Structures are given as structure tokens and as C-alpha cells.
Structure 1
Amino acid sequence: MKADAQALKGHLDVLLLATLTDGPRHGYAIKEALRDGSGGRFDLPTGTVYPALHRLERAGLIAGSWSVVDGRRRRTYELTDDGHQKLAGDRANWRKFATAVTSLLEPGPWPTTN
């Protein structure tokens, strides 16, 4: 089952930041990393990914630069120091959230009362 952009609302920015952890990528490679890293579940349209990248760039969390590859211009993005800090904080918050949700959805056995 594929997730759509609405289902990712509130999570897209951190997922995009995470795709840049291993180094710079151009826009389409970021889109592919989302798709491939999620086993095809996050196969989002470019009309969703690029506006989010522009928003992250305006916020100073990523930096973009233009290059020409095989005669084609493309924009490559990388995490800024603020982006690295934001991603670290978001990952810590996600772990706490996921632990709380998991404890509710998959509770262990209830203690017996005697």
C-alpha cells in the first residue's frame, strides 16, 4: 500500500532531511531515496517533493547549489548544520513517540492480580 502526501503530512520534512544524511543529492535522487528507502511506499509526486525542498531551503535546513550534468542543470541539496541539529531532534522525538504508540498498540501481557 502506497502512502500519499496527505498521509505523510507532518513527517515529510524529517524524511527529506533523513535522505540527505549520507551526503548531497539532487532533487530526483531525493525522491528516489524516499521511494527506495520505504520499499516503494513513499513514491511521491515531484509536485510534493520539490516544494518541500524549497521550504526546507528557505528555512536554512538544507542548502542547494546548481550544477550541470550531461548538459542538464540540476539542483543538489545538502544538510546545513541547522538541518543536522533539526534531524537529530526529530529522530529523538520520533523514537519517544513510536515507543509510546507501540506500547499502546502492542501491549505486553497484563499482570495478574491475586
Structure 2
Amino acid sequence: MNPDALRGHMDALLLSVLEREPLHGYAIIEALQERSGGALSVPTGTVYPALRKLERTGLLASEWATVGGRRRRTYRLTDSGRRRLQGERSAWREFAGVIGGVLQPEIKPEVKPSG
């Protein structure tokens, strides 16, 4: 998959992976690969800065834990992170519908009137 395609979606992907349970960084990378059927191979140099940013903005919290005999920083969603994830999912559905309507004009997107 083209890495540029992920631009602007990394936060939502990370929040989604952490929705079920707290995970450490490498487990997050593995979960992204597994959920994508191997299509997403995100480097640590992309994931860790994004996790730190999400933590600074209050969407994630972290604590040190011992996992497999090693100390690792484990990340979990905050309540704000859960709310943001809901918003990201809604925005994604709208985006995918609009783009789908352009790429597949025989499928009309459901557009809700604004206001």
C-alpha cells in the first residue's frame, strides 16, 4: 500500500487499534498489520511520534508495564480518545461515500443536507 495513502488517517488507525485494550508500541504495529491483512506495514518511526502526539493532546494515556519480561510503555484510549474515534469513524464514512461516488458514479453517495 502506498504510504502516502495513510497520510491524515494515522491517528484514527491508532485510536481504533487501542479501542479494545491497552497495547505497547510493537503490539500496535502488529495489530495494524493483522487487521489490514498484511497491507499496512507502518514503521516505528511513524508510529511512536504519532503515539506521543496523541498522548500530548489527551487522546491517549500511557504507563510503563512489564510485558514478556520487558518494560514497555503501554498506551490506552482516554474518554476523549473514544469520542475522537467516533468522530473519525463518522468522518471516514462520509469521506468514503463521497470518494466512492466519484470513482464509481453508478453508486450515489448518501449526502445529508447541512444546516
CA RMSD of aligned residues (A): 1.4
The residue aligned with 1:56 is: 54
The residue aligned with 1:87 is: 85
The residue aligned with 1:68 is: 66
Instruction: Tell me the amino acid that sits aligned with residue 37 of structure 1.
Output: R
CA distance in 1, matches of 2:100, 2:40: 22
8 Å contact kept, 1:3–1:43: no
The residue aligned with 1:28 is: 26
Percent identical among aligned pairs is 54
The Cα offsets for residues 9-59 of structure 1, whole Å up to 9 and x where unpaired, read as: 111011000001111111111111111111111111111111110110011
The residue aligned with 2:8 is: 10
4+ residue stretches of structure 1 with deviation over 2 A? none
Which runs of 5 or more structure 2 residues have no equivalent in the other structure? 108-115
Matched positions, count: 107
Which runs of 5 or more structure 1 residues have no equivalent in the other structure? 110-114
